[in-house]
C-alpha cells in the first residue's frame, strides 16, 4: 500500500514536470534575444535576460498596450451586461408559468450549441448596416449577445433551486414581478451570476475570431487578435511573440486559479 502511494506521487510529479514543459519553454523563449534563441541551446538559461526588451518590442509592433485596454473594456462590460440580460430571461423561464416557456428557453440557448461560424459572417453586414463596423460599440454588442445563452443556462438552473415559498410570500406582501426579480431573485442568485460572469469574462478575453473579423484597426481590436497579428507582422521576433503571449495570458490564469471552485460549479451547472 505504502509503495503504491509513493509510486502514485512519483508518477504525478513526473506528470506535472512534463505538463509544465510547454509553459517553461514559452518563458525561456521570452527571456532570450533573437541571437540567443537561434544560437544558444534550447534548454539553457540566458546570461543576459532580454525579457523587458521583448515585452517592449511586442507592445510596440503589436500595439498591445491599446489592445490590452480594449480587452479589459470588452470583457468586463460585455460579461456584466450579458449576464444581467441573461438573468432577465432566466427569471421568467425558471419561476413563471406561461405558454411557450420551453420554446423561449431553447431559443435563448441556441447560441451555446452552434459553432461561431454560424453567425460570424452576417455580423459583418449587420454592423455595416448600423454603421458600427470597426467600432468599440459594434464589437461590444456582438460579445454581449454571445454571452447571453450560456449565462441563461447557468442562471436558470440555479434559480430553479430557489424555493417557490419565498416568492409566494413576497407576492402576498404585494410585491410586483419586477420587485420579486430585483429584491429576491437577483440577490439570491449571486453565486450563479458570479459563475456566469467569470466564464464569460474568460471567454471574451480569450476570443480572437470576432475581433479579427469585425474590427480593422489596432485602436479597436482586442488583445488576442493583435497578438495573433504579431506573427504575420513586418518584424517577426520569437522573443516578442513569447513575451506578448505571457502578458496576455497572465490575467485569465490568475482569475481561473483564484476562482477554481466557481469554475467547477459552472461545469456542474448545465445539469
Partner 1 sequence: MEKDEGNMEKSISIFLLLPFIFLSIFLLIPIGFTVVLSFCSWWGYGPITFVGLDNFIKIFTIERFQRALINNLLWIIGVIFVPMFFGLILAYILLDVKGKRIFTAALWIPYAISPVALGYIFYFVFDPKIGLINSTLEILGLGFLKRAWLSSWPLNTFSLIIGSWWNRFAFSTIVYLAGMTTISRDIIDAAKTDGCVGFHQLRKIIFPLLRPFTAIILAWSVLYSFQDNFGFIYVTTEGGPFRSSEVIGISMYLEGFMSSNMGIASALAFLSTIITLTAAIIILSRSKGG
The grid cell for 199 is 466564464
Does the protein bind partner 1 through residue 159 (CB under 8 A)? no
CB of 88 to partner 1, least distance (A): 5
* Cα–Cα distance measured from residue 34 to residue 238, given in angstroms and rounded to the nearest whole number: 7
Comparing CA positions, the residue from 244, 189, 237, 250 lying closest to residue 63 is 244
Scan for cell 505571457, then name that residue.
Answer: 246
> How many Cβ atoms sit within 10 Å of the Cβ of residue 72?
14
CB of 93 to partner 1, least distance (A): 9
- Identify the three-state secondary structure at position 135: coil
Residues 45-84 that bind partner 1 (CB under 8 A): none
CB of 270 to partner 1, least distance (A): 6
Q: Do the beta carbons of residue 101 and residue 164 sit within 8 Å?
A: no
Contact residue for partner 1 among 57, 64, 195, 242 (CB under 8 A): 242
> How many Cβ atoms sit within 10 Å of the Cβ of residue 13?
9
**Contacts with partner 1, 82-101, as mask; x by CB under 8 A:** ---xx-xx-xx---x-x---
* Cα–Cα distance measured from residue 64 to residue 57, given in angstroms and rounded to the nearest whole number: 10
User: Nearer to partner 1 by C-beta: 183 or 268?
Assistant: 268
Contact residue for partner 1 among 67, 155, 193, 241 (CB under 8 A): 241
Does the protein bind partner 1 through residue 163 (CB under 8 A)? no
Does the protein bind partner 1 through residue 12 (CB under 8 A)? yes
Does the protein bind partner 1 through residue 260 (CB under 8 A)? yes
User: Nearer to partner 1 by C-beta: 196 or 224?
Assistant: 224
> How many Cβ atoms sit within 10 Å of the Cβ of residue 182?
13
Contact region with partner 1 (CB under 8 A), list: 62-70, 153-161, 191-199, 250-258: 250-258
Scan for cell 482586442, then name that residue.
Answer: 222
Comparing CA positions, the residue from 82, 220, 71 lying closest to residue 144 is 82
Residues 14-43 that bind partner 1 (CB under 8 A): 15-16, 19-23, 25-26, 29, 37-38, 41-43
Residues 105-144 that bind partner 1 (CB under 8 A): 107-108, 110-111, 113-124, 126, 141-142, 144
Comparing CA positions, the residue from 23, 24, 29 lying closest to residue 238 is 29
CB of 122 to partner 1, least distance (A): 4
User: Nearer to partner 1 by C-beta: 120 or 170?
Assistant: 120
Residues 203-232 that bind partner 1 (CB under 8 A): 205-209, 213, 224-225, 227-228, 231
Residues binding partner 1: number (CB under 8 A): 87
Does the protein bind partner 1 through residue 7 (CB under 8 A)? no
The number of CA neighbours under 13 Å toward the Cβ of 220 is 17
* Cα–Cα distance measured from residue 146 to residue 214, given in angstroms and rounded to the nearest whole number: 14
Amino acid at each position: 500500500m505504502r509503495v503504491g502511494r509513493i509510486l502514485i506521487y512519483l508518477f504525478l510529479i513526473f506528470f506535472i514536470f512534463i505538463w509544465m514543459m510547454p509553459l517553461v519553454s514559452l518563458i525561456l523563449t521570452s527571456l532570450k534575444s533573437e541571437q540567443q534563441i537561434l544560437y544558444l541551446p534550447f534548454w539553457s538559461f540566458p546570461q543576459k535576460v532580454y525579457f523587458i526588451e521583448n515585452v517592449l518590442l511586442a507592445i510596440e509592433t503589436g500595439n498591445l498596450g491599446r489592445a490590452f485596454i480594449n480587452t479589459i473594456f470588452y470583457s468586463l462590460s460585455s460579461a456584466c451586461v450579458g449576464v444581467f440580460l441573461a438573468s432577465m430571461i432566466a427569471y421568467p423561464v425558471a419561476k413563471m408559468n406561461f405558454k411557450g416557456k420551453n420554446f423561449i428557453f431553447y431559443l435563448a440557448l441556441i447560441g451555446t450549441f452552434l459553432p461561431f461560424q454560424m453567425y460570424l459572417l452576417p455580423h459583418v453586414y449587420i454592423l455595416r448596416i448600423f454603421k458600427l463596423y470597426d467600432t468599440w460599440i459594434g464589437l461590444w454588442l456582438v460579445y454581449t449577445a454571445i454571452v447571453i445563452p450560456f449565462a441563461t443556462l447557468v442562471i436558470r438552473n440555479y434559480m430553479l433551486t430557489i424555493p417557490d415559498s419565498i416568492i409566494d410570500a413576497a407576492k402576498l406582501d404585494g410585491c410586483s414581478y419586477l420587485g420579486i426579480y430585483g429584491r429576491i431573485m437577483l440577490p439570491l442568485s449571486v453565486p450563479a451570476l458570479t459563475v456566469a460572469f467569470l466564464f464569460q469574462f474568460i471567454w471574451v478575453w480569450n476570443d480572437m475570431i470576432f475581433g479579427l473579423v469585425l474590427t480593422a484597426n489596432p485602436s479597436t481590436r482586442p488583445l488576442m487578435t493583435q497578438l495573433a497579428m504579431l506573427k504575420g507582422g513586418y518584424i517577426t521576433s520569437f522573443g516578442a511573440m513569447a513575451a506578448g503571449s505571457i502578458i496576455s495570458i497572465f490575467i485569465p490564469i490568475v482569475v481561473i486559479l483564484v476562482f477554481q471552485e466557481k469554475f467547477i460549479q459552472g461545469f456542474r451547472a448545465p445539469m
